[in-house]
Amino acid sequence: MTTRKKRLASLLGLITVLVGLLVYVSYYYVKSHREMFEFTCAANLQQRDATTDFHLDASFVLTLRYSGEAMVSVDGTVHKNGKDYVLRRNAEFQYSPYIQFLYKLNHFTVHRGLRDNVPANVLNTDFSYLYITKITDMDDAVLIGTRVLPLIVCHTR
């Protein structure tokens, strides 16, 4: 009888450990995916810096997936020091939660369009982090920004 009770106690202990492990893994999975996004949004961007004679007029489409894969397509013009350039680029990258609304960007692959003639020293492409948050009371809008670009309202419809 005592052997049977020991086996039952061991079995209950094992079941308790497995249930605890399942709860922990489920919590981690939900928490990590809660911070990820699944949307495509579009916005127009105008950036002016009179001190450096820099103007950026572009439209972009940003796609983020729960898997952490992302893509951005940018189409527009850049003006710098009296010269005008055509901007046509697609970039693929990975994103992951960093701190609160800040996401770390990795594995950038940039594809320049045939007409893209913006020199590397004219357009800052240092995109290490991305600020992303949904706008309260606006179901179809997301606020997006970087260290080098202002915050942008990006519409998902």
pLDDT on residue 76: 96
What letters, b where the CB count within 10 A reaches 16 and e where it falls short, cover 33-44?
eeebbebebebe
User: In whole angstroms, what is the distance from residue 112 CA to residue 85 CA?
Assistant: 13
User: In whole angstroms, what is the distance from residue 147 CA to residue 137 CA?
Assistant: 26
User: What phi and psi values does residue 45 have, to the nearest 5 degrees?
Assistant: -130, 130
For the chain, what are the domain ranges? 1-34, 39-155
pLDDT on residue 32: 47
pLDDT at 27 over 80: no
Q: Which one is predicted more confidently, 21 or 75?
A: 75
Q: Which pTM was predicted? A: 0.72
Banded model confidence at residue 133, pLDDT cuts 50, 70, 90: confident
Q: Residue 32 has which token pair?
A: 């990590």
126 in Cβ contact with 136 (< 8 Å): no
pLDDT on residue 40: 92
pLDDT at 68 over 50: yes
* CA–CA distances in Å: residue 148 to residues 125, 128, 156: 8, 10, 23
